[in-house]
Amino acid sequence: MTNPWTDIKNTDLAIVMGGNAAEAHPCGFKWVTEAKAHRGAKLIVVDPRYTRTASVADYYAPIRPGSDIAFLMGVIRWCMENDKVQWDYVRNYTNASYLVREDFGWSDGLFTGYDEEKRDFNKESWDYQMGEDGFALTDPTLQDPRCVWNMLKQHVDVYTPEFVENITGTPRDKFLDICAMIGECSAVDKTMTSMYALGWTQHSKGAQNIRGMAMLQLILGNIGVRGGGMNALRGHSNIQGLTDIGLMSNLIPGYLNIPTEKEVDWQTYLSTREFRPLQPGQTSYWQNYPKFMVSFLKAMWGDAATAENDWAFDYLPKLDVPAYDIMRMFELMNNDRVNLYFCQGFNPLLSIPDRGKVTAGLSKLKMLVVMDPLSTETSHFWQNHGAHNEVDTASIQTEVLELPTTCFAEDEGALVNSGRWLQWHWPGATPPGEAKHDTWIMAQIWTRVRELYRTEGGAFPDPIVNLSWDYADPGEPTPAELAREMNGRALAAVTDPATGAQVLQAGQQVSGFGQLRDDGTTMAGCWIYAGSWTEDGNMMARRDNSDPDETGMYLNWAFAWPANRRVLYNRASADMAGKPWDATRPLIQWDGAKWGGYDVPDIAPTADPSTVGPFIMNQEGVSRLFSRGMMRDGPFPTHMEPFESPMANVFNPRMRGNPVARVFESDVARLGNSDEFPFVATSYRLTEHFHYWTKHNRVNAALQPEFFVEISVELAEERGIANGSRVRVFGKRGQVWAKAVVTRRLQPLICDGKPVHVVGIPLHWGFMGAAKKGWGPNSLTPFIGDANTDTPEFKAFLVNIEPATEEPVA
Amino acid sequence: MFTLMRFAEWENPATNDLEWLIRKDGCMHCEDPGCLKACPAPGAIVQYSNGIVDFIHDNCIGCGYCVTGCPFDIPRISQTDHKSYKCTLCSDRVAVGQGPACAKACPTQAIVFGTKADMQAHAETRIEDLKSRGYENAGLYDPAGVGGTHVMYVLHHADKPGIYNDLPENPRISPVVEGWKGVTKTAGLAAIGLAAVGATLHGLFARGNEVEEHDVQSADALVKGEDPDHGGHV
């Protein structure tokens, strides 16, 4: 989230698209209720299903799963055409005026540079025209046909209301009503907040869905302001922390990159990370990258990381592929390339697509170690449960070890919420039975592995034997020790480069990432967490809920990264002179000498508004309506069909799904077509359950005891399915049996003149736990992910459905 | 206890839009409680000065007359201890200055608790807000037939309470119960009275949830901690 949950109360219009906050985030949804009650805010829901969020919305419109980009580009077109634009913001705070290279273009659904063989774009032309001085060329009058604004206008021209209706199935009048409601928020005293979740991410073009709304928010001037923002409602209490701390295979903590094998040395690695400003005098904050990276390497290898050995850069693994994401891991398992798999706090048998492939992969392992508080489906993948897990146990030779871990309520530490707040919590119970903290298990394994390398050596033992492991009990680092390490501390005296004054003594905790250095005098495990545990103590444990003037910022409650800032890009809440756009909702302002206000300014405290642009994390100092080469599938979002869709791509019928999303060869034959599987399926969560955990709890299991699928009255009639009867839902990759819920919550959508039926599949059942046995949607979903993030396409795929005439033997 | 969340999928004929009508169905804590009127056991049902109607189980004889007497069909006789139960509005919490647990837990403050006057004032603001959002018939459900209730609903469609899973439009205590402590006390009329009660009971029970037999079995199994799939089918 760019803004905290508590800020949603400041909005005038909440649009929930790609999520179902009332059901999946009921506690956070109270801030929408606040905004409705106290500001008279409106709520719009756009979703294939009429959800609980829709039931309290002012306006609901249905949409075909996987067609959100067409909807969003249509809204952008409508705003441009109807002058619903925050012009000062667009001209000054976005790259609307930047000139795009002459050789960039778009046709047949593809941007320039497409290589069908490689399934990739050559992105060279996706860039600005550059001046000889190295700065980007702009046309502040927005007259040049090559400026981003005019390129965008041209790009969205095709997304007329008629086009949007045809693609999305959203009735034109509803689409236009929503456009009008959104358009009002281009006024400086009206803001809209976008609340989305996995309904947008779990698509083969998920990142572009989010880009589409982010662009709309920029055009409306709604980024950086109170009651605005792009707000990703995370699906797990600490999934924000997971990405922060670098559990993505291509990232290290704080969104730094694991080097690729082309980055053979430290100099090469840094050469592509210069982040030179594209405007004179602009702050380009990522120019501090080496400070964060060196501090990370010092946290990893301590005294073994020196200037002479390039801070032990060679110790880092080098990626030979873009990422070892989870689908690649299961592909490798299926190819006999993985022997041992550690599965920690994760249930892939139900959460990775194409379950048949997951089972086949796990069956090829020599050993599977499952660390989990619960006895999961994954740890029992080899056990035959009839139709619910049809495996030949005798043929599976994988050895499975279950290591019971503690659950969150038995742990101490910080959870990072969607609003980037690190909130410290304390254990509420003693671990049962043999359950151990994850940290204990990992430390015990680690110390033994290190001992093996110490005594037996190996091809390259250095990164392992030299790893910094500076804990009072090497067998169990404490949460406090780990948190202090992530915050970072001085390893030698640290001085202010401007004045020469000493700011830190050796051993002192840094108070913020501004104190990190690239000369080896500081260490920090996760630079964005700097400031969370300072010399003043554990900032994450703060519980002061005072909120001067009720802005919703709560600066003394816990700690928000970065720098305790609550609203990202908050510099953009003020105009070019530094005065708040909306005097009734100030966030920060320029007093002629410095920035101050209710939030920690997202700009240097003394940066003059007339010289430094507000988006300091971009080299341009402005936000990007045109994203240059940052995304693999295009600098503007363009409509793409899901890989399995009832419709061909209207721009290019040959194009299946996202043209640059990775498809493993073995999966091509496992994709279905609409002649065989005519119905669109989508998956979702229910309020009574949390993922696959709560079915182990009898109360939750009693509240939602049984796997069901939802279908419309029309589809039920067409297929002869009675409400409450048993159905078989089947696709190219698998089949499930479920109880049919025939409901008006789902309606057939008319796309290109033909009805599209949607089958809704909730995700909470398996064959372990207290609830009745069932299946997850992953028995049916394709092994395909987003082109940028590899997030699986769980939200749009094809199935067929029929009354279950025969029941399988359970 | 014996509080259900009910929801109805209702297509608004005026707009053709689907609406979910969600209702927390439990004891309404009537000002003139039919259960109390029907109860033959002294001290089993009491009404506190704050309006809460409470069942004192030590005094309950399990006759079920309160079930008959309730115009909202709320109390149920426990099959374990044969005493009658319903929502207490957390009378124990309220007695020590805390609100009911449901109001405390509700994340979106859909349930709020306070004096009746405060709640009526709060309801006014909610009704005004709903009217501004196009619900012209929004209003407060506080039916006069039972002297008003101490659990009140703000309804989007207060002109049609029946669409909220048969919320009675004008709930009244059954004349049979009204008469119970009056004329029907004479032995000669008792037989007729009981017959009439029987008929009323049937009417009430027939309105309960329809549940398939195998749902009942697996729910029972679940409660007993058995495998709900045992012997069942997929």
Distance, in Å, from the CA atom of A92 to the CA atom of A90, rounded to the nearest integer, reads: 6
B22 has a chain A CB within 8 A of its CB: yes
Is there a domain that residue B221 lies in?
Answer: no
| Closest-CA residue to A20 (of A43, A42, A52) | A52
Q: Under a CB-based contact definition with an 8 Å cutoff, are residues B115 and B51 in contact?
A: no
Distance, in Å, from the CA atom of A359 to the CA atom of A339, rounded to the nearest integer, reads: 15
- Best of B7, B16, B104, B108 to substitute, by most chain A Cβ atoms within 10 angstroms, is B108
Distance, in Å, from the CA atom of A166 to the CA atom of A161, rounded to the nearest integer, reads: 9
Is there a domain that residue B222 lies in?
Answer: no
Beta strand pairing status for A192-196 and A230-232? parallel
* Predicted local confidence at residue B195, as pLDDT: 40
Written as one letter, the residue type at B205 is F
Q: A317-347, pLDDT tens digit by residue?
A: 999 999 999 999 999 999 999 999 999 999 9
Q: Under a CB-based contact definition with an 8 Å cutoff, are residues B45 and B39 in contact?
A: yes
* Predicted local confidence at residue A721, as pLDDT: 97
Which residues lie below 8 Å from residue A239, measured CB to CB, with a gap of 6+? none
Is there a domain that residue B218 lies in?
Answer: no
How far, in whole angstroms, is CA A501 from its chain's centroid?
41
HSE at residue B89, side-chain half, CA atoms within 13 A, is 23
CB-nearest partner of B107 from A26, A706, A810: A26
Helices B116-132 & A30-39 angle (0-180, nearest 10): 80
Using the predicted structure, report yes or no on whether residue A708 has a pLDDT greater than 90.
yes
Using the predicted structure, report yes or no on whether residue A810 has a pLDDT greater than 70.
no
Q: Under a CB-based contact definition with an 8 Å cutoff, are residues A651 and A108 in contact?
A: yes
Q: In chain B, which residues have pLDDT < 70?
A: 1, 180-234
Per-residue pLDDT, averaged over A701-729, amounts to: 96
Q: State the Cα angle at A217 between A163 and A642, rounded to 5°.
A: 45
| Closest-CA residue to A326 (of A789, A752, A771) | A789
Is there a domain that residue B226 lies in?
Answer: no
- How does the average pLDDT of chain A come out, rounded? 97
A9, with CB counted inside 10 A (0-12, 13-18, 19+), is buried
* Predicted local confidence at residue B191, as pLDDT: 41
A22 has a chain B CB within 8 A of its CB: yes
A37 has a chain B CB within 8 A of its CB: yes
DSSP state letter for A693: T
Distance, in Å, from the CA atom of A766 to the CA atom of A490, rounded to the nearest integer, reads: 49
Distance from CA of A796 to the nearest CA of B (A): 24
Q: A587-596, pLDDT tens digit by residue?
A: 999 999 999 9
Write out the H or E segment, with its range, that includes residue A181.
Answer: helix A172-183
Is there a domain that residue B200 lies in?
Answer: no
Full residue range of the structural domain in which residue B79 is found? 4-181
Which residues lie below 8 Å from residue A587, measured CB to CB, with a gap of 6+? A224, A225, A226, A551, A553, A567, A570, A573, A574, A580, A597, A598, A599
* Predicted local confidence at residue B206, as pLDDT: 33
* Number of independent structural domains in chain B: 1
* Predicted local confidence at residue B187, as pLDDT: 44
Using the predicted structure, report yes or no on whether residue A178 has a pLDDT greater than 90.
yes
A273 has a chain B CB within 8 A of its CB: no
* Predicted local confidence at residue B194, as pLDDT: 39
Kindly determine whether residue A745 and residue B9, on different chains, have CB atoms separated by under 8 Å.
yes
Is there a domain that residue B151 lies in?
Answer: yes
Kindly determine whether residue B222 and residue A37, on different chains, have CB atoms separated by under 8 Å.
no
CB-nearest partner of B218 from A50, A737, A772: A772
Using the predicted structure, report yes or no on whether residue A296 has a pLDDT greater than 70.
yes
Distance, in Å, from the CA atom of A627 to the CA atom of A614, rounded to the nearest integer, reads: 17
CATH of the domain at B59: 3.30.70.20
- C-alpha R_g of chain B: 20
Kindly determine whether residue A702 and residue B223, on different chains, have CB atoms separated by under 8 Å.
yes
Q: Under a CB-based contact definition with an 8 Å cutoff, are residues A412 and A479 in contact?
A: yes
| Closest-CA residue to A10 (of A496, A582, A609) | A582
Kindly determine whether residue B107 and residue A29, on different chains, have CB atoms separated by under 8 Å.
yes
Distance, in Å, from the CA atom of A610 to the CA atom of A665, rounded to the nearest integer, reads: 54
Is there a domain that residue B190 lies in?
Answer: no
Q: A211-254, pLDDT tens digit by residue?
A: 999 999 999 999 999 999 999 999 899 999 999 998 899 999 99
How far, in whole angstroms, is CA B47 from its chain's centroid?
16
CB-nearest partner of B22 from A27, A55, A810: A55
A356, with CB counted inside 10 A (0-12, 13-18, 19+), is middle
Q: Is A681 helix (H, G, I), strand (E, B) or coil?
A: strand
Other Cβ atoms less than 10 A from the Cβ of B111: the count is 15
* Predicted local confidence at residue A597, as pLDDT: 97
A349, with CB counted inside 10 A (0-12, 13-18, 19+), is buried
Q: Find the closest chain B residue to A746 by CA distance.
A: B18
Which residues, listed in sequence order, are joined to residue A61 by a DSSP beta bridge?
A46
Which residues, listed in sequence order, are joined to residue B23 by a DSSP beta bridge?
B6
* Predicted local confidence at residue B221, as pLDDT: 66
Is there a domain that residue B206 lies in?
Answer: no
Q: A638-662, pLDDT tens digit by residue?
A: 999 999 999 999 999 999 999 999 9
Q: Which domains does chain A have, with CATH numbers?
A: 1-235+562-639 (3.40.228.10), 665-803 (2.40.40.20)
- Best of A5, A39, A47, A50 to substitute, by most chain B Cβ atoms within 10 angstroms, is A50
Using the predicted structure, report yes or no on whether residue A809 has a pLDDT greater than 90.
no
* Predicted local confidence at residue B173, as pLDDT: 87
Distance, in Å, from the CA atom of A314 to the CA atom of A325, rounded to the nearest integer, reads: 22
Helices A68-81 & A148-156 angle (0-180, nearest 10): 120
Q: State the Cα angle at A623 between A14 and A95, rounded to 5°.
A: 120
Residue position matching structure tokens 């170690």: A369
pLDDT category at A273 given cuts 50, 70, 90 is: very high
Other Cβ atoms less than 10 A from the Cβ of A470: the count is 10
Report ipTM for this prediction: 0.89
CB-nearest partner of B107 from A27, A60, A744: A27
CA distances from A322 to A248, A632, A666 (A): 11, 11, 19
